[in-house]
Chains A and B, each alone.
Chain A
């Protein structure tokens, strides 16, 4: 298992890249909304889930369970 400094060393650039891709995707969405119907996706559950997941990412008190919480957030409720 890697030490904390090793984890940061190994995954810093990859994390930077993933954050940039996410930021660019949200920028893309905002530009599309500005150029068309801004409310067309506002009530879309997928957008709500993306926004909620950002809150989980920013949770500094999380107990190494962010991935699990985000997957639960993106899970559909059981039928029946």
Chain B
């Protein structure tokens, strides 16, 4: 089955990931800018990182026939440093001109501090001003519930088209508030700390697959890009049709990301030849 992996941090992974993803049907990955595991000191470090994901990483993925797209942003954790963040934000619009940059992401919140909220709002405004897609990270673990509410409060003050916004890492206690407001939502599969493949399929069965993206992130920490394939297997083992799986794991990312003219992968339909 053909798969689009909408959230993947390739710079933290080996080429073996790309090879195995290609062998398992992945045709495209999207790499949001994120926290590198340590907080950077210099705006230039971010700029080189943006160059890496918008210029170099596509060539690594292409070795295995995978299309690579990316997003640029100051992540929530480093937004705690507003002067550094503002310096990076000044240079972000240059990257919107690159052929594989889809928008602003992942911004959002980590601890929901005033600085994080300020920088998230500035980046959401930048997405509006430059007609870019917007990818919002919601906090981890115990910070998720109040952080997701705060994200929604910030967005609701802004003249933003919900269809252009993807709010990621929702779980059972946050999915309704995101879905009810018309945003795209992301179910992120992690071994321990976010959603599991089984719980993701539960959520799809309960709330439907509209405006829903499933991803397995994969970064420098304990994570596994193939939880996405495990989720597809779980979905199919429960008796759901192949075309339904394609709607969730290929067509939905194609629909959401395809709002950017740079993402030219179209939804597909399986037909028998008689």
Contacts and interface: CB of A to CB of B under 8 A. Distances in A.
A28 B196 contact: no
Interface in A13-66: 13-14, 16-17, 20-21, 24-25, 27-28, 31
Given A27-B202, A28-B202, A21 B192 contact: no
A13 B192 contact: yes
Interface residues of A, number: 11
Q: Which of B141, B172, B199, B205 gathers the greatest number of chain A CB atoms within 10 Å?
A: B199
A21 B199 contact: yes
A28 B205 CA distance: 10
Nearest to A13: B192
Contacts of B39: none
A13 to B, nearest CB: 5
A31 B193 contact: no
A20 B141 CA distance: 12
B193 A17 contact: yes
Given A14-B192, A17-B192, A17-B193, A31 B206 contact: yes
Interface in B185-206: 192-193, 196, 198-199, 202, 205-206
A61 B141 CA distance: 29
Contacts of A14: 192
Nearest to A27: B202
Nearest to B222: A13
B206 A24 contact: no
Nearest to B192: A17
A20 B198 CA distance: 11
A71 to B, nearest CB: 23
A21 B172 CA distance: 12
A24 B193 contact: no
Contact of A24 (B141, B192, B199): B199
Contacts of A21: 196, 198-199
A27 B172 CA distance: 11
Nearest to B172: A24
B234 to A, nearest CB: 11
A69 B258 CA distance: 54
Nearest to B201: A28
A76 B141 CA distance: 39
A9 to B, nearest CB: 14
Contacts of B193: 13, 17
A63 B234 CA distance: 37
A33 to B, nearest CB: 14
Contacts of B196: 17, 20-21, 24
9 contacts: A14-B192, A20-B199, A21-B198, A24-B172, A24-B196, A24-B198, A25-B198, A28-B202, A31-B206
Interface of B: 141, 172, 192-193, 196, 198-199, 202, 205-206
Interface of A: 13-14, 16-17, 20-21, 24-25, 27-28, 31
What 7 A-B pairs are tightest by C-beta distance, nearest first?
A17-B192, A24-B199, A13-B192, A24-B202, A28-B202, A13-B193, A14-B192
